[in-house]
């Protein structure tokens, strides 16, 4: 009887090893893609939060209807910022919203709130 492995056994072992390496590589790539997407979404959330804070420090009694768009660049890429201030359903409320869309990839981030002003101001 001879010692060692047959050619079929070696080929099967190589196929199994190749499959395991391919699965590990795919898993690593998926982790990198998810990390990048998470970083972009976090940066878009930060941009939206800063834009909303700039609006919230303004006095709601001096708001006017506004619809503006701009772009801003950050460490994670470029973002389109869309700001809307509109009259809400009630007379003393303003609806303020900020939507930030990453230019390259990623879902939009949208913040909105209602601000109360004095009844006589609007």
pLDDT tens-digit readout, 45-89:
999 999 999 998 988 788 889 999 999 987 788 999 999 999 888
Which of 34, 23, 47, 55 is CA-nearest to residue 103? 47
Q: At 108, give phi and psi (nearest 5°).
A: -70, 155
Instruction: Measure CA 89 to chain center.
Output: 29
Asked if residue 8 lies in contact with residue 73, where contact means CB atoms within 8 angstroms, the answer is no
Which of 100, 56, 59 is CA-nearest to residue 77? 100
Give pTM, 2 decimals.
0.73
CA-CA distance, 69 to 52, in Å (whole number)? 13
């Amino acid at each position: 009887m001879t010692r060692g492995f047959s050619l079929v056994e070696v080929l099967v072992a190589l196929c199994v090893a190749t499959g395991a390496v391919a699965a590990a590589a795919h898993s690593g790539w998926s982790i990198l893609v998810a990390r990048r997407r998470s970083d972009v979404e976090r940066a878009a959330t930060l941009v939206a939060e800063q834009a909303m804070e700039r609006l919230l420090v303004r006095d709601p009694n001096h708001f006017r209807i506004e619809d503006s768009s701009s772009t801003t660049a950050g460490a994670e890429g470029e973002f389109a910022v869309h700001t809307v201030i509109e009259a809400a359903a009630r007379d003393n409320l303003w609806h303020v919203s900020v939507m930030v869309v990453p230019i390259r990839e990623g879902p939009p981030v949208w913040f909105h709130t209602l601000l109360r002003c004095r009844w006589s101001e609007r």
